[in-house]
Amino acid sequence: MTGKTASKKGASKKTAASQPAHLIDHVDAPPAPPCTLVIFGASGDLTHRLLMPALYNLVRAGSIDPGFRVIGVSRRPMSDEQFRADLTTSIKERFAETGGEFDAKTDGVSVEPGKWDFLRERIHYLAADLEDPASYADLNNLIGSLRQSSGGKDPGIGNVIFYLAIASSLFEPTINQLAASQLLKQTKNGWRRLIIEKPFGHDLASAKALDKTILKVLHEDQVFRIDHFLGKETVQNIMVLRFANGFFEPLWNRQHIDHVQITASETVGVEGRGSFYESTGALRDMVPNHMFQLLAMCAMEAPNSFSADAVRSEKAKVIQAIRQLPAREAADNTVRGRYLAGTVQGKRVKNYRDEPDVKRDSTTETYVAMKLMIDNWRWADVPFYVRTGKALATRKTEIAIRFKQVPYALFRDLPQAVQPPNELILHVQPEEGISMNFQAKVPGQQLAISGVKMNFKYSDYFEAQPNTGYETLIYDCMTGDATLFQRADNIEGGWAAVQPILDAWGKGYGAIVDYKAGSNGPTAADELLMRDGRRWRDLA
């Protein structure tokens, strides 16, 4: 996390002088305290695609203590060796991929056998029924046996993280079973923590109910509601950009900023997750968590410190200040779309309604765009435009800060009197960095102005490390740092902001519109900005 770099992660082992002139090494983190990571849903896609690569990357970085253990829990019968072999095959496939969420850059080598073997031999498996109390007794026994196998000399085995990589409908029963079996009870010999994947409820009422269940059996400081966007370097860098540089923050307000655009576009469709997506949709899947966290990092006030509570309190204030509109007005400021058949980067994509496990008369949105207003002193009258969708032209997540135009009188006689606006773009993925658009004189005897761009890429200045977005978050949970995790009031504030939109759709306001796969989205989203005299940045 940005604010803890100097104190928690120590100094880099390499100095800038030992690097190429333009390259600065990453800051090394000391190994996290030893613990056991219990992954519920271990046979699922999330474990194979993101969690295991993230753990492997932490091993490569030297951030995992030898006392670390993994227990995979799932329904399918499997031995430890079968589970390890399955993960070995999976991680080798992930490292062979290019593009996508995990594009491993491993200095020209594949999985390093020594590093993977270190993790592999610490992985165990338990076949379990999450609704059967006997399974939790088996889990308790396995955790105890791992402690005994270390000769009782490793107190870290008493530290346990329970990771819920399972369907959200199983969150509450699993938490209740963990509590009933005393697995969540902390002692002097070890702490207990819970990581919860999204979605955190499906509306405001269910989010409040889930938080109530959690906080009956756990303290807030034991709960880590994970949003992997917050593990991205550029997202963490937003606070450094704003608060560690004297020339950004004075301009970061309604006097100088015209509007903000936050985009998270995906090229993939539902990819075989039709049943999940039918009950979720783009709004629930992305906006109260991912998109609002990006908005909060961009719009929050400076915290008093980089402590977890200070940062999360400022984020909560911003989210709670998002204007809540009556149903019809909420629908008028929102666009929901659904992709039709088309071609995305040369690959044919079928109509959303023709995807497996999707209803033929489905009204689920795969795209949403909205105009939001933040009612506080810094952002009054500055619109925040948010859009996210599937099967779009480009995979891109970015925040674009567009500044107000300068007066034109000085340049009115030039051939191009109206210049492109100044923009600051924070590129979150796939390539992390920051770019700035501004005006410069074209060389020559006559005065002419042209827009130019300055680009900063992380890979140009810092030694690239393999990253899924989960490395920092898992490490932070192991060390007990909750700064990059969502607190209950963050979650409930996000749902409160989108609840008027859900209510509007439930009343029949805001018809769903179609867009072709491989496009920039529905034309209605363009019209949402055009009526304010603005336009979206091109996705290409």
| Distance, CA of 260 to chain centre | 19
Instruction: Please spell the DSSP secondary structure of 451-491, one letter per residue.
Output: EEEEEEEHHHHB------S-HHHHHHHHHT--TTSB-HHHH
Residue 322 DSSP one-character state: B
Do the Cβ atoms of 478 and 35 come closer than 8 Å? yes
Catalytic annotation on 290? yes
Which residue stretches of 97-186 are H helix?
Answer: 113-120, 133-149, 171-180
Query: For residues 339 and 325, what is the distance between their CA atoms, to the nearest angstrom?
Result: 27
Angle of helix 171-180 relative to helix 133-149, nearest 10 degrees, comes to 60
List 48, 124, 290, 427, catalytic entry: 290
Distance of CA 238 to the CA centre of its chain: 14
Please report which helix (H) or strand (E) contains residue 86, including its range. Answer: helix 80-96
User: Residues with Cβ < 8 Å from 199, sequence gap 6 or more?
Assistant: 168, 280, 284, 285, 289
Cis peptide before 199 (omega within 30 of 0): yes
One-letter amino acid at 442 equals: V
d(CA 301, CA 303): 6
CA–CA distance, 11 with 16 (Å, rounded to integer): 11
Closest to 116 in 3D by CA, of 70, 56, 64: 56
CA distance linking residue 467 with residue 104, whole number of Å: 7
Say if residues 516 and 342 touch (Cβ distance below 8 Å).
yes
Separation between Cα atoms, residue 383 and residue 532, nearest integer Å: 10
3-state helix, strand, coil in the chain (%, to 5): 40, 20, 40
3-state secondary structure 429-457: ECCCEEEEEEEEECCCCCCCEEEEEEEEE
Using DSSP's 3-state secondary structure scheme, residue 448 falls into coil
Distance CA 433, CA 440 (A): 22
Sign of CA dihedral 163, 169, 173, 176: positive
Catalytic residues: 290
